[in-house]
Amino acid sequence: MNSITPISSHQSQIQRKDQQFVWHPYSSLTAPIPAYEVVSAEGINLHLADGTVLMDGMASWWCAIHGYNHPVLNEAAKSQIDKMSHVMFGGITHAPAVNLCETLVQITPNGLDKVFLSDSGSVAVEVAIKMAFQYWISQGQPNKNKLLSLRNGYHGDTFAAMSACDPTTGMHHMFEQVVAKQHFAPAPQIGVHEEWNEQDIAEFAQIISAKKAELAAVILEPIVQGAGGMRFYSPHYLKAVRKLCDEHNVLLIADEIATGFGRSGKLFACEWADISPDIMCLGKAITGGYMTLAATLCSEEVSRGICEGEAGCFMHGPTFMGNPLACAVANASIELLLSSDWQANIQRIESTLKEELAHFDGLETVAKTRVLGAIGVIEMHEPVDLAEIQKLFVAEGIWVRPFGKLVYVMPPYISTDSELNRLIQGIYRVLVKL
Ligand SMILES: *Cc1c(COP(=O)(O)O)cnc(C)c1O
């Protein structure tokens, strides 16, 4: 099968036009892989135009934690839309945004007191980086304008975010002339529950000490490195990073866009190490997958530092900042999560995933598996053929979207044990066939 074979002979008009007009994430328009047409979604299921029902193992890239078409979130959106969908945020405020910001300050680690709302994860990262840079400019230290990041990190696709992504698997090489050069420490090697050894942070410690005069901030994904490798690492590493940042007068940016809202087993992954970053990015699950929204939180110290500087304000302001519709759904989604016994639920998902993924260790094509919270990862020896494997998953009635050597799931939190069994067993049958 080659990659431009249609999904079926019954390609819909939508699918044909899709290939003619539409970019998809990281897609080619000269050799397009046909996309599946979804007409509706409900609970954990995606309904395709041809009647196929797929259990979603991806929660639409970490977002749809409560599943699709949730009555509570639908009601929040409908009730807000009858009041107003959007108003500008310059000089105007409204309850949905204020309530959301207050909630975020309350539920995130101590010391994150101010909230900047934006439209997407990458923008939240841009905002975080700009905050760090503007803070040091305001402090009269404009030379502190570099970042220290981790290998295997992923922080988004816009230019400042790109500069902090893994320099090998990211886009540094191709955009060498235009992406800012940052510093990188090796990815942490010790797992979440493995015995800690200071050696794991040694090179990081050496770099931050050597480069502190030019470092504005360390940026990392706490505990779970997502799209840059689906790796989990020791809370001791994160604790040590916090300590080193304090010692060397460098800000710490925690990118919790993937980990936020319970995915790792803690509400925020920083809680694994009991640390507070100076700046934190949130996105993805913030609206339960209903709308695009992101937030960058910072400490009082950072916000004051910025505002007391020459500019007198933070130099950023998106058109759709604080979108009321998105904020209203975010408030409902967070309330839905916190009013449930979400911790016990994530633990249940974790043990079911662990049980099921243990069977994969016997497969020749599988290098290793790992689970943390509601994240299950199967690392293959070789990269998978996405076009081929996608069809096999769909034939199993499951939606799983691997990249490279990584076949992974982060299902909606509402997935039952038997649904999780079906998902993982479907993956198993596909991997056996490869
Ligand atoms: C997805 C992601 C981003 C980028 O968010 P977008 O909404 O895709 O722009 C940034 N950082 C992390 C850790 C992510 O997982």
Ramachandran angles phi, psi of 430, nearest 5°: -70, -45
15: which DSSP letter? H
Three-class SS of 134-168:
HHHHHCCCCCCCEEEEECCCCCCCCHHHHHCCCCC
For this structure, is 413 an active site residue?
Answer: no
CA separation for the pair 135, 183 (Å, rounded): 19
Distance 132 CA to ligand 1 centre (A): 18
Structure tokens at 30: 């000269």
Q: Which comes out higher in pLDDT, residue 110 or 8?
A: 110
pTM over 0.85: yes
CA separation for the pair 320, 111 (Å, rounded): 27
Pocket flag, ligand 1, residue 60 (CB < 6 Å): no
Q: What is the pLDDT of residues 60-97, one digit of tens each?
A: 999 999 999 999 999 999 999 999 999 999 999 999 99
Residue type for 396, please? Answer: E
For this structure, is 284 an active site residue?
Answer: yes
pLDDT at 173: 79
| Lowest-pLDDT choice from 100-109, 166-175, 214-223, 259-268 | 166-175
262-278 in b/e burial notation, b at 16+ Cβ within 10 A? bbbbbbbbbbbbebbbb
For this structure, is 18 an active site residue?
Answer: no
Pocket flag, ligand 1, residue 221 (CB < 6 Å): yes
Pocket test for ligand 1, best of 58, 155, 293 (most atoms within 8 A of CB): 155
Pocket test for ligand 1, best of 154, 159, 224, 253 (most atoms within 8 A of CB): 154
For this structure, is 135 an active site residue?
Answer: no
Reported confidence tier of residue 169, pLDDT bands at 50, 70, 90: confident
pLDDT at 404: 94
Structure tokens at 277: 């970053």
Considering the chain, what percentage of its residues have pLDDT values greater than 70?
Answer: 98
Residue nearest to atom 6 of ligand 1 (CA): 121
Q: Which of 341, 231, 223 is nearest to 272 (CA)?
A: 223
pLDDT greater than 70 at residue 129: yes
**CB-based contact 66:333 (threshold 8 Å):** yes
Domains in the chain (CATH in brackets) are 36-69+341-433 (3.90.1150.10), 75-338 (3.40.640.10)
Reported confidence tier of residue 172, pLDDT bands at 50, 70, 90: confident
Residue nearest to atom 15 of ligand 1 (CA): 258
Reported confidence tier of residue 174, pLDDT bands at 50, 70, 90: confident
CA separation for the pair 392, 376 (Å, rounded): 19
| Span 409-432, average pLDDT | 98
Phi-psi region of 60 (alpha: psi -120 to 50; beta: other; left: phi over 0): left
pLDDT at 346: 98
pLDDT greater than 90 at residue 325: yes
Q: Exactly one of 56, 119, 200, 255 is catalytic; which is it?
A: 255
The number of the ligand 1 atom at minimal distance from the alpha carbon of 221 is 13
| Span 316-325, average pLDDT | 97
Pocket flag, ligand 1, residue 278 (CB < 6 Å): no
The strand pair at 53-56 and 251-255 is best described as unpaired
Distance 166 CA to ligand 1 centre (A): 14
Distance 219 CA to ligand 1 centre (A): 13
Q: Which of 257, 228, 233 is nearest to 153 (CA)?
A: 228
Residue nearest to atom 11 of ligand 1 (CA): 155
pLDDT at 361: 87
Considering the chain, what percentage of its residues have pLDDT values greater than 90?
Answer: 94
pLDDT greater than 60 at residue 291: yes
